Structure 1
Amino acid sequence: MKKLFKKLIPKRILNLKHLFFAWYGAVKYKNPSEELLVIGITGTSGKSTTAYLLRQLLEQAGFVVGALSTIDFYVAGQDKLNDTKMTMLGRTAIQKYLREMVNKKCDIAIVETTSEGIIQYRHRFINYDYVLLTNLYPEHIESHGNFENYKNAKLKLFKYTANGKIKILKGEKIEKKVFVNENIEQAQEFVNFNFSKKIGFGKKGEKVFAENLDKEFVLSNIKTTTNGLDFQINDERLNTSLFGEHNALNILSAISVARELKIDWSKIKKAVKNFDGVPGRIEFIKESESFGFQVIVDYAFEPVALKSLYKVVKILNPKRVIHVCGSAGGGRDKSRREPIGKIVGKSADVCIVTNEDPYDEDPMEIIKQVSAGAKKVGKKLNNDLFEILDRGEAIQKAVDLTKKGDLILVTGKGSEQAIVVANGEKILWDDRDAIRKSLNKKKI
């Protein structure tokens, strides 16, 4: 009955329910965002990682921080992995967390803000001060209809922030500021609103699409080694144990905010050097080292992210790559399934296609659609390509096949805490725990 109700009533009408709860939450918890400096982070990818890294950077500088993201819900040092399968929580939950941040003396709140959340008004009645765009490229198109609609959903957040009420915190006027990746073609559209300050960040040598910026942070001289990244931002040299050029860009975006908050370069460099790895983002499973091979868990669930991941794999130079992958169901971007199969089929020595989050779709049908891409680039079923419905069995197969010097990739879920099946039912799950269980069964 609930599904029929949703089908019969237009989405824009259904979303008014979310608008009501956004308002009610703000009233119930007495507008907590008015007592915090709120930073909204959006973009196609890199949102959660940027939020996670920015949080560490701010804490290193002495700020008390709260953050809500796909990865976790964090309030003043207390951390809870996100087990909801939602980035922007529904009903009054976001406002409840913001009030908790105020009660626990947080200075700053970081709120990962998605296009779907914006359409559902989940950002409303949050008084954002800074808003940051990590990047923008076609994704979630089946949900939005086309790229223009997807972009316009993001733009709503920037307009909303620029027009928001100016706060006074600790006697200081908080200006509305925008931070934008100036290398994206649509950058100018995101800075055209009435912000007090417009800051750009981007990679040297790539075309700049934003004009009349107040400040720029430029990434250059990126060097990747087996120990991590070494790079330059403006005239400052930095290094980190994180892998992936895309993470240099994530760090760049976080630093652009940190500098606007007057954090010294010396503190920034120390924080970047000591960054903890981000859960489920190029996360190495240390227990595999005793077997002489490596295992990486990564959230990459779409083609652009997978290509970035394979740049890291190239640096590690394993003997073989055994890749466990899948694709989401529920009508989510069906068009990316075959391309995922093609990328993994070309890049990995062995592909194991498995269940991810099927929602109401037939999981085996999704698997076959991904597998079809791998077949088109030469992989052969039950030779170097396997279709295994049970994700745990797929991971066990990868571990059993792996030899010294090899690398296992497990992608699509990262640190997510559940697999979502029919009728929205969540089955408790963590790829990292499943890998450790499989390693325990393997003999050294």
Structure 2
Amino acid sequence: MIILQELLNKVSVQQIIGDTNLPIKSICLDSREAEKDSLFIALPGSQVDGHQYIADAIALGSKAIICEKYPEHLATHVTYIQVSNVTQALGTIASNFYKNPSTKLKLVAVTGTSGKTSTVHLLYRLFRQLGYSVGMLSTIHNQINDQAFPSTLTTPNAIDINKALAQMVTAGCQFCFMEASSHAIVQNRLAGLELAGALFLNISHDHLDYHLTFDAYIQAKKKLFDELTANAFVLYNIDDKRGKIMIQNTRATTYSMAIQRPADFTAQVLANTWQGLELRIGGQNVWFQLLGTFNASNLLAAYATACLLGQPSQDILVALSSIKPITGRFQHIHTPKKPDVIIDYAHKPEALEKILLSIQQIRESAKQQGKIITIIGCGGNRDTQKRPMMARIAYKLSDQLILTSDNPRYEDPKAIIEEMKQGLRSAEQLKTITIIDRAEAIQAAYQMAQPADIILIAGKGHENYQEIAGIKYPLSDEEIVSKLMAV
């Protein structure tokens, strides 16, 4: 239990109707989760407005309501707190309810169009290797030391973030590394958190179904850095031309990183093979087990962050060199005398391009004469502008392209593929294979491939389901490949 007045500490309140000297047992956003002595936060949304469910929450026992506008009828036994921005107030209230856990460990947020998950996992594994208790909030799953928890969003809501952080503090975690999506940043899901630092990796075309314009997407990412305190640090990638834009208004101490130019932290790619990457980093030549030149930036980001968090350079490099590739991120499946298979989450144009260029570089380094066969689809009810771009990049950088389904959600997969084909010329469309069923597409690619060929299965990575019309059906790219290779 916590007193309502304590929950309102640092909340910008416009007006209060009722008593704030009330014990609050729980806080909730979903009226169905309301209970006796709960605080219901009426969160406005693009599809559902929590203000419509205030009466439902009161009926289940809520004694206090946070809202931007009062309901037409006020219950006499309920306290109403009006704020100008519920999403902002939510973060502060959630932090207060869980006793401000972000102040009790070092919390670092990572943002970028691609590489967030890989970098957060690298940091989590690195600090575990260094002997620390560590938490992680990521797309694949959340982690408290060696215990994993399911993840439903890249960045959870403010209540779930603070609840997880509180659990991490109880478990003795000294650090937490989290992904910060553009949606989460503009929706103030990080409000009320005290960040030790934040990373900017890159930005390219994505999420325009939500942000509408690329400039709005840039500003969404930039908001993370604008709101940092002077006690935090920023690590930004100046290989990305928008890296300096991100730090224009930040109060935090800034540090640059780069592969291609001078910076505070640099790395140079010496070798890119099926066995891993060799980098010149921290004044040393080091082999890493991760594949693909794009992972050089992720490794550099992890190295630089650890340095900024006070870890010795030599210890960092030794630990990083022992870390194995992450499931579904340039995951290399190899069986002698059979084609190489790469499974990757790449579902954005820039990420797909990076993967295919890395595959080409590895093929050249290994003097591998085979073809690159790419299987790719695009998710339904998401940014439609990238669909033709994805097909164009895949066709340009592959020897054979197979278009298939990703997560069609509530769209017709045939229609999605037709939109992808708009990125191809008529002659190129004739050379492209279309197989709507994803499992059949993977099987077809495997059957047509020769032992020296490389198959890239892009788009779903670690996911073990396919979402169709609101239902998630079991489907794992890795399991399909494993069964094919076992024959």
Q: Name the TM-score, length of structure 1 as normaliser.
A: 0.84
Quick one: which of 328, 333, 354 aligns to 2:379? 328
Q: Which residue of 1 aligns with 2:389?
A: 339
Pair 1:78 & 2:124 matched: no
Matching of residues 59-98 of structure 1 within 5 Å: 59-80=128-149, 82=151, 84=152, 86-90=153-157, 92-98=159-165
Residue 423 of structure 2 aligns to a residue whose secondary structure is: helix
The verdict on how the C-alpha distance between 1:221 and 1:367 changes in structure 2, with shifts beyond 3 A counting, is closer
Matching of residues 416-431 of structure 1 within 5 Å: 416-422=463-469, 424-431=470-477
Quick one: which of 238, 245, 248 aligns to 1:192? 248
Conserved? CA contact 2:205–2:349, under 8 Å: no
Residue 360 of structure 1 aligns to a residue whose secondary structure is: coil
Q: Which residue of 2 aligns with 1:242?
A: 290
Residue 92 of structure 1 aligns to a residue whose secondary structure is: helix
Residue 328 of structure 1 aligns to a residue whose secondary structure is: coil
Q: Distance in 2 between matches of 1:377 and 1:250?
A: 38
Q: Give the letter aligned to residue 159 of structure 1.
A: D
Shift of 1:307: 1.5
The verdict on how the C-alpha distance between 1:197 and 1:16 changes in structure 2, with shifts beyond 3 A counting, is closer
Q: Distance in 1 between matches of 2:328 and 2:337?
A: 21
Q: Distance in 2 between matches of 1:363 and 1:91?
A: 34
Shift of 1:6: 4.5
Which digits, 9 at most, give the CA deviation of each residue in 1:156-202, with x for residues without a partner? 11122226xxxxxxxxxxx3111111233333333334545221111
Conserved? CA contact 1:342–1:376, under 8 Å: no
Q: Distance in 1 between matches of 2:244 and 2:270?
A: 26
Q: Distance in 2 between matches of 1:27 and 1:426?
A: 36
Conserved? CA contact 1:221–1:232, under 8 Å: yes
Q: Give the letter aligned to residue 338 of structure 1.
A: P
Point out the more displaced range, 431-440 or 127-136: 431-440
Q: Give the letter aligned to residue 322 of structure 1.
A: I
Shift of 1:221: 4.9
Shift of 1:341: 1.2
Conserved? CA contact 1:161–1:176, under 8 Å: yes
Shift of 1:333: 2.0
The verdict on how the C-alpha distance between 1:271 and 1:361 changes in structure 2, with shifts beyond 3 A counting, is same
The verdict on how the C-alpha distance between 1:23 and 1:358 changes in structure 2, with shifts beyond 3 A counting, is farther
Shift of 1:229: 1.4
The verdict on how the C-alpha distance between 1:357 and 1:195 changes in structure 2, with shifts beyond 3 A counting, is same
Q: Which residue of 2 aligns with 1:392?
A: 439
Shift of 1:204: 3.7
The verdict on how the C-alpha distance between 1:87 and 1:333 changes in structure 2, with shifts beyond 3 A counting, is same
Q: Distance in 1 between matches of 2:481 and 2:87?
A: 38
The verdict on how the C-alpha distance between 1:272 and 1:6 changes in structure 2, with shifts beyond 3 A counting, is closer
Q: Which residue of 1 aligns with 2:400?
A: 350
Q: Distance in 2 between matches of 1:111 and 1:226?
A: 29
Quick one: which of 343, 347, 353 aligns to 1:297? 343
Shift of 1:149: 1.0
Which digits, 9 at most, give the CA deviation of each residue in 1:372-402, with x for residues without a partner? 434546252xxx5322222122222222222
Q: Give the letter aligned to residue 376 of structure 2.
A: C
Q: Which residue of 2 aligns with 1:313?
A: 359
Higher RCO (C-alpha 8 Å, min separation 6): 1
Q: Give the letter aligned to residue 327 of structure 1.
A: C
Percent identity for Structure 1 against Structure 2: 29
Q: Distance in 2 between matches of 1:191 and 1:222?
A: 30
Q: Name the TM-score, length of structure 2 as normaliser.
A: 0.77
The verdict on how the C-alpha distance between 1:356 and 1:17 changes in structure 2, with shifts beyond 3 A counting, is farther
Q: Give the letter aligned to residue 377 of structure 2.
A: G
Shift of 1:427: 2.7
Shift of 1:132: 0.7
Shift of 1:43: 1.2
Q: Distance in 2 between matches of 1:261 and 1:8?
A: 41
Pair 1:151 & 2:151 matched: no
Quick one: which of 105, 109, 112 aligns to 2:179? 112
Q: Distance in 2 between matches of 1:412 and 1:54?
A: 23
Quick one: which of 71, 89, 112 aligns to 1:43? 112
Shift of 1:144: 0.8
Q: Distance in 1 between matches of 2:209 and 2:288?
A: 37
Return the index of the structure with the highest Cα Rg.
Answer: 2
Quick one: which of 111, 117, 124 aligns to 2:191? 124
The verdict on how the C-alpha distance between 1:91 and 1:265 changes in structure 2, with shifts beyond 3 A counting, is closer
